[in-house]
Amino acid sequence: MEEQLLELNQKIDTLTEQVAFLAEEARIQRVRRQEFDELKNDLTPVMQEMYQLSVRELDEIDGYVELEDMLRLMKRLMRNTRNLEQMLDQMESLMELGQDISPLTQQAFLTVMGRLEEMERKGYFSFMQEGLAIMDRVVEEYSEEDVRQLGDNIVLILNTVKEMTQPEIMTMLQDTAVAIRDDEYADKDVSMFSILRQLNDPEVKRGLAKTLNVLKTVAD
């Protein structure tokens, strides 16, 4: 009898454990079902709104897109999956490159800004503005024909400027300007005798010779 009671108690304990397990599983399933029902209740208005929105959007493009077009586009996307993946890889590489060179770009930007600030402080921009004003005056004063003639004679003009900027010519012009500014006879009566006396000066003779040569050149 004791062995039978012991065996019966073991069976009862086993049965009790199984019943407890089944009860726990039932409770878990009930909780999951309740959570699913709550999620369904929460998502139902959202899905309905999405459906209505999709219907409205599709109505707007109904005259422009057919179902066959959508299917053809989907098949084309599926055929070009690898190309799209490569394109995305390239975009990621470009983004990584942009992140790598971003500090260099910022440093270059700061350098350029500093250089522009220095140029503005030295007056480069004011000079350029005045130069543009000069160009405006040139455009207003000279016609297209004048510019064409200037282009035809630009070589001759440059050669003339080149000759005029030779050291001896510039020295002569400077000496002439100084002589005119510091003319000692400006406030005096100059007699013929003083003029004849200056003709004996070798430098005066050379100056007269150069002047006569210039007059001869102009005459030719």
115 within domain boundaries: no
Contact 190, 196 (CB under 8 A): no
Residues 30 and 76 in one domain: yes
For the chain, give the mean pLDDT.
Answer: 78
**Residue 61 within a domain:** yes
Q: Taking residues 161-170, what's their average pLDDT?
A: 78
pLDDT at residue 55 in the model = 74
Query: pLDDT (tens digit, 9 = 90+) per residue, 48-60?
Result: 888 788 777 777 7
| pLDDT exceeds 80 at position 46 | yes
Kindly state whether residues 155 and 210 are assigned to the same domain: no
Question: Residues 84, 149: one domain?
Answer: no
pLDDT digits (tens, 9 = 90+) for 61-93: 666 667 777 788 888 888 888 888 888 888 888
Residues 112, 114, 120, CA angle at the centre, nearest 5°?
100
Q: What percent of the chain lies above the pLDDT cut of 90?
A: 0
Q: Is residue 76 part of a domain?
A: yes
Mean pLDDT of 19-37: 87
The 8-class DSSP code of residue 123 comes to T
For residues 24 and 63, state if they share a domain: yes
Q: How far, CA to CA in Å, does 95 sit from each of 81, 82, 84, 104, 110?
A: 21, 20, 16, 15, 22
Q: What is the pLDDT of residue 188?
A: 58
- Residue 120 inside a domain? The answer is no
The predicted structure's pLDDT at residue 96: 81
Residue that terminates a domain, selected from 64, 82, 97: 97
pLDDT at 30 exceeding the cut of 60: yes
User: Final residue of a domain: which of 62, 97, 132?
Assistant: 97
pLDDT of residue 182: 62
Please name the residue that has the structure tokens 């007699």.
Answer: 191
Determine, yes or no, domain membership for 108: no
Residue 22 has a pLDDT of: 87
- Is the residue at 148 inside a domain? yes
Q: Tell me, yes or no, whether 171 and 219 share the same domain.
A: no
Q: List pLDDT tens digits, range 96-139.
A: 877 777 777 777 778 888 888 888 888 888 888 888 888 888 77
Per-residue pLDDT of 193-211, as tens digits, reads 666 676 677 776 777 777 7
Residue 137 domain flag: no
For position 196, what pLDDT does the model report? 67
- From residue 205, give the alpha-carbon distance in Å to each of 6, 155, 178, 190: 155, 34, 19, 18
Q: Which comes out higher in pLDDT, residue 215 or 153?
A: 153
How much is the pLDDT for 189?
A: 62
pLDDT for residue 132:
84
DSSP letters spanning 14-46: HHHHHHHHHHHHHHHHHHHHHHHHHHHHHHHHH
**DSSP secondary structure code for residue 200 in this structure:** T
Same domain, yes or no, for 85 and 10? yes
Residue numbers of the domain that contains 46: 2-97
pLDDT of residue 169: 74
Name the token pair of 152: 């035809």
The structural domain count of the chain equals: 3
